[in-house]
A and B are shown apart, each in its own frame.
Chain A
């Protein structure tokens, strides 16, 4: 596998190491995917640049109206964080659904995004929450919407031999805003999601001002339910309205038959129910119902 294993002390040292090795060094955060990818030959590298000891990347903090989740923050750390629970209920729920206790103690939110698996739990939540990511390379810092990270199934636009995502940014909730994450799965742990949905909603004077509905895996990367989002605008969230929103969401979904995740027909039939539940929970969350 690799011949060198290093712990840079800060982000610029990490970037420096990548440069020095010209494509033969690779960033590792939790490593729960990467270790296996290195074993089965999906990637190979001479040098692992382990970023989990960079102090600033281990923090969940508040900055100019955003919460900032560093690249070394684990799923369990996020699930238990009061800041995340308050401002990003969908992310707290999604992080709790990843793998198992042992995995969540190591695996990171940012790693989940960079792995670019089509239904990655925390990534689906971050799409709904309209998150931004900070990317640092030799050319400096760029901030981009999380959508820009998906290049295809399991493919990220981030080349971890050249750059690293240092953090994700989520806008703090305003009054009337809430979010939720709902997962369909075969068992309660260690299973791939059959379907994931996440919703962020903003309600004012009992009407829905805006809804962001994200579903996966029903296409390449997480997919927005645009029809449903448009339909919900300015509606009162009655039972019928939410049901119709669920039905419309399925129109944007194109799931494949899958031995692991279930048949296309089955998943198209349950998707509306999941979307409705996610909407109900998000509205409840917006009304201060916690998660």
Chain B
């Protein structure tokens, strides 16, 4: 077995570690980096609980070989409130009752963030498409959709207020 030297940016920090060639990204994130907000549901790409953002796109970390993260920029739920303040998506999920057991929440929020990063004013339809790969067994989705809509508004107000486009 030849180990691979993985170098990537995770939640803003440079990470360097040796991985086995057959390791999956989900396991490296959870077991090596202790980022257990990345949830393991189906391990088959069907539930979305393991969703992270890799180079700007939402992906199922259970289907990505860790080796493919070489040189990548990765964001997990742990990275979006690093300042200690909740991200507007997190705040809106709480306020709208979009969380019950919470197992799907990190994945839902990362899918939503990937959407809002690229498309700050999504339609209902676009929100549904972006979250269609995330299953929730508790909430019934309506509140989640509302939370994302509200977060989009708040993020827009904050960024507009600052006069930047990001």
Contact = CB atoms under 8 A, between A and B. Distances in A.
Interface of A: 1-5, 7, 28, 31-32, 35-36, 48, 50, 52, 76, 99-103, 105-106, 188-190
Interface of B: 1-2, 4, 21-22, 24, 44-46, 48, 51, 57-60, 63-65, 67-68, 70, 111, 114, 128-135
B2 A103 contact: no
B58 A35 contact: no
Contacts of A1: 22
A105 B58 contact: yes
B76 to A, nearest CB: 14
B21 A103 contact: no
B132 A188 contact: yes
Contact of A5 (B45, B67, B134): B67
B51 A50 contact: no
A189 B132 contact: yes
Given A2-B21, A4-B2, A102 B65 contact: no
A100 B49 CA distance: 13
Contacts of B68: 31, 50, 52
Contacts of A103: 45, 60, 63, 133
A274 B22 CA distance: 42
A5 B24 CA distance: 12
Given A99-B45, A105-B59, A106-B63, A5 B129 contact: no
A99 B133 contact: yes
B57 to A, nearest CB: 4
Given A3-B1, A50-B65, A102 B48 contact: yes
Given A5-B21, A48-B21, A50-B65, A190 B2 contact: no
B46 A190 contact: yes
Q: Give the residue among A2, A36, A100, A189 with the most B Cβ atoms within 10 A.
A: A100
Contacts of A76: 57
Contacts of B64: 31, 106
7 closest cross-chain pairs (CB), A and B: A100-B133, A189-B132, A1-B22, A5-B21, A5-B67, A105-B57, A102-B60
B132 A5 contact: no
Contacts, number: 80
Nearest to A28: B65
B51 A102 contact: yes
Given A5-B22, A102-B45, A103-B45, A48 B65 contact: yes
Given A5-B65, A101-B132, 4 more contacts: A1-B22, A101-B58, A106-B64, A190-B46
Contacts of B48: 100, 102
Nearest to B4: A5
Contacts of A190: 46, 132-133, 135
A61 to B, nearest CB: 22
Contacts of B132: 100-101, 188-190
B75 to A, nearest CB: 14
Q: Give the residue among A76, A101, A102, A188 with the most B Cβ atoms within 10 A.
A: A102
Nearest to A30: B63
B155 to A, nearest CB: 19
A32 B67 CA distance: 15
A54 to B, nearest CB: 13
Contacts of A2: 21-22
B107 to A, nearest CB: 9
Contact of B58 (A50, A99, A102, A189): A102
Given A48-B21, A99-B133, A31 B57 contact: no
Given A101-B129, A102-B51, A3 B46 contact: no
A32 B63 CA distance: 6
A218 to B, nearest CB: 25
